[in-house]
Amino acid sequence: MPVLVASDLDRTLIYSAAALALTMPDARAPRLLCVEVHEAKPLSFMTETSAQLLTDLGDRAVFVPTTTRTRKQYQRINLPGPPPTYAICANGGHLLVDGATDQDWHAAVLARLSAQCAPLAEVQDHLTRTADPLWLRKQRIAEDLFAYLVVERELLPEEWVKELAVWAENRGWTVSLQGRKIYAVPKPLTKSAAVREVARRTGAGLTLAAGDSLLDADLLLAADRGWRPGHGELADAAWTAPEITALPERGVLAGERILREFLKASRLG
């Protein structure tokens, strides 16, 4: 039975320049590979060692990129190794098979959202009315499934985020603060549901996962084994669970460590 590896991307396997956390002297910094270009500028990176580890992993396991990114944002990424047969975008809202959306899966997700949580329009209206132009830079709707704000983090009142989280909780939504982005996501929209579907289709006997944010908690809990880096929302909250390993590494070196752990576990599996 195959091993399935479902991993978050941003700040788990790939990193922006601001998130690299290179604390060593410049002469000892790892060589980096650019894996995403946007508007003709390099945007996301991994170490060259990570690139080789991911290539090796793709030869041994079913690797499934599992991201909150929209399909368009995901398709900007050029990961090393064999092209993944499956990818999960929009926090589970879209299951890609050989790069194309599985329409049956997407329809089932829409039906679940309609039945179990407040509509996106209500959340969007609340964000528009309560966000302060002083710190709000952009407001976006992702794939007509969830909303996010781009903010000036140093100006963002912590109390506003807490109040938004309580408001959203009462309507079946969850809030996640990741870097300069605040996500408002329906609770029924989960990475774990899509990963379980991929596990069913592939007949996977072992599922491994990694992630750094609150939106990854359900993914980690759904796996047989999971890892989180030493940075991010989960680390800040000291979040842990059985079969979850909290790694000390931060930044791009955490991505390298996670891939080493995936490869080691897939060999044992």
The secondary structure of the chain, three-state, reads: CCEEEEECCECCCEECHHHCCCCCCHHHCCCEEEEEEECCEEEEEEEHHHHHHHHHHHHHCEEEEECCCCHHHHCCECCCCCCCCEEEEHHHCEEEECCEECHHHHHHHHHHHHHHCCCHHHHHHHHHHHCCCCCEEEEEEECCCEEEEEECHHHCCHHHHHHHHHHHHCCCEEEEEECCEEEEEECCCCHHHHHHHHHHHHCCCEEEEECCCHHHHHHHHHCCEEEECCCCHHHHCCCCCCCEEECCCCCHHHHHHHHHHHHHHHHHC
pLDDT of residue 1 exceeding 80, the answer is: yes
With bands split at pLDDT 50, 70 and 90, how would you rate the model's confidence at 269? low
110-136 pLDDT, tens digit each: 999 999 999 999 999 999 999 999 999
55-97 pLDDT, tens digit each: 999 999 999 999 999 999 999 999 999 999 999 999 999 999 9
Predicted TM-score (pTM) of this structure? 0.94
Instruction: Tell me what pLDDT residue 178 has.
Output: 87
Average pLDDT over residues 157-173: 97
pLDDT of residue 155 exceeding 70, the answer is: yes
